[in-house]
Amino acid sequence: MTSPLWVFGYGSLLWNPGFPVAETRIARLHGWHRSFCMTSIHHRGTEEDPGLVLALDAAEDAYCDGLALRAEAGTEQATITYLRERELISSAYVETRQEVEFRDGARQEEVLTYVINRDHVQYCQYPLERQAEIIADAHGGRGPNDEYLFNTAAHLAELGIGDAEMEDLVAQVKALKGIT
């Protein structure tokens, strides 16, 4: 690979990329929004008791602020292989190349981005209250579903790109679990 590999992180890639990162930049992806619209039957839930994880869901006037991560030079192919094993475990995500806008206004045309396949059985849409109930109880191979939510919300806030809906979801899950 001759050009740098950029990956768009909007969920767990923010706090657990799993590959060597040389550079990070705040970035905005137009036409998509961050949503707990994918059931998790492997990482944050089970087939019997699915959790919820984030995915990018298409919406005409939407945007998602996240983090563009540039893989260290020489690790591009290994990074792609790793991400495919991690993100495409059930084919609910689709691997795409998107254009993002960096906070300074510069554009990056080729950013590896995983988006939801709306035709996949794991695609879902629940009201916020139902999302909170599911996330409060689910647990999968990578740990509790609420840990995923809390880590993602904390990292978004730390980056200065907090998500109001996610913050409301955090409050609802904490209330359900009796966490102050």
Question: Radius of gyration (Cα) for the chain, nearest Å?
Answer: 16
Nearest alpha carbon to residue 13 among 37, 41, 45, 43: 43
72 assigned to active site? no
CB burial of 58-85 (b: ≥16 within 10 Å; e: otherwise) equals: eeeeeebbbbbbbbeeebbeebbeebee
Q: Kindly name the residue from 76, 87, 109, 158 that is annotated as catalytic.
A: 87
The tokens for 42 are 């492997």
User: Catalytic residue numbers?
Assistant: 87
